[in-house]
Amino acid sequence: MRIYKEKDYDAMSRRAASIIAAQVILKPDCVLGLATGSSPIGAYKRLAKQYQKGKLDFSAVRTVNLDEYKGLGAGDEQSYITFMNENLFSKINIAKENTNVPNGLNKDAAAECARYDKVIEGMGGIDLQLLGIGNNGHIGFNEPADSFADGTHMVTLTEGTREANARFFASLDEVPTAAYTMGVGSIMRAKMILLIASGKAKAQAVKDTVSGPVTPQVPASVLQLHPNVVLVGDEEALSLL
Ligand code: F6R
């Protein structure tokens, strides 16, 4: 694992954006695995700026997002598809049909998860997977569990995760209790993984990820087994390393 310690959120975002930009320049038709949440917003802003300056071209890029809340879709302000449209897709020249997010409105979990696995497979693999990390070490919405899940599956969100994400909703009650998420296996099959972390609340999870035992109780710890992981964190997130 290569680790970049950056001063703050802005510097972390700059570094992460430059790694993603390099991937797009080196392979214009690459497959990017994308994340939502607070961590990647700064990097997405920088990528959009670089596109606007004519330095990046996303016309051949395809994307596959990690996860979506069950029950939310494009019409919902808090859905991850809305997040992606607002924070990145509407600001770059990516073709809508080249972007993929699990369909949270599909009530048939088994069908939706099987469909999403086919989408990932059909893309021929992910070149670069961007990940944030939960305070409990989750990646995507793979919460601490007794085993690592391979493919896309439905998860029940932990209370801690719902509380952490409540800031995006009017109240905790409105945070969905379930989500569809790419599995740890799909994440691990990406050629390169870019893990970003910012803030004190992530420090313990980052420490456990980098130097703790590999265990599904800390899902991100599995990244120790991946040959090409870059961790970009700010000083607070890396303070326990
Ligand atoms: C989001 C995702 C989650 C977040 C994690 C950190 O698509 O898969 O694993 O990356 O919960 O969230 P933030 O960045 O909001 O702290």
Q: Answer yes or no: 67 catalytic.
A: yes
CB atoms within 10 A of CB 52: 12
Distance 99 CA to ligand 1 centre (A): 19
Closest residue by Cα to residue 195 from 222, 217, 168, 213: 222
What predicted TM-score, i.e. pTM, was given to this entire model? Answer: 0.97
Whether 222 and 193 have beta carbons less than 8 Å apart is answered as: no
Q: Answer yes or no: 138 catalytic.
A: yes
Regarding the beta carbon of 12 and ligand 1, being less than 6 Å apart is answered no
Distance 181 CA to ligand 1 centre (A): 12
pLDDT value for 183: 98
Q: Residue 172's pLDDT band (boundaries 50, 70, 90)?
A: very high
Mutate to test the pocket of ligand 1, among 9, 32, 66 (most ligand atoms within 8 A of CB): 66
d(CA 184, CA 201): 22
pLDDT value for 109: 98
pLDDT value for 188: 98
Q: Residue 160's pLDDT band (boundaries 50, 70, 90)?
A: very high
pLDDT, one tens digit per residue, over 108-159 is: 999 999 999 999 999 999 999 999 999 999 999 999 999 999 999 999 999 9
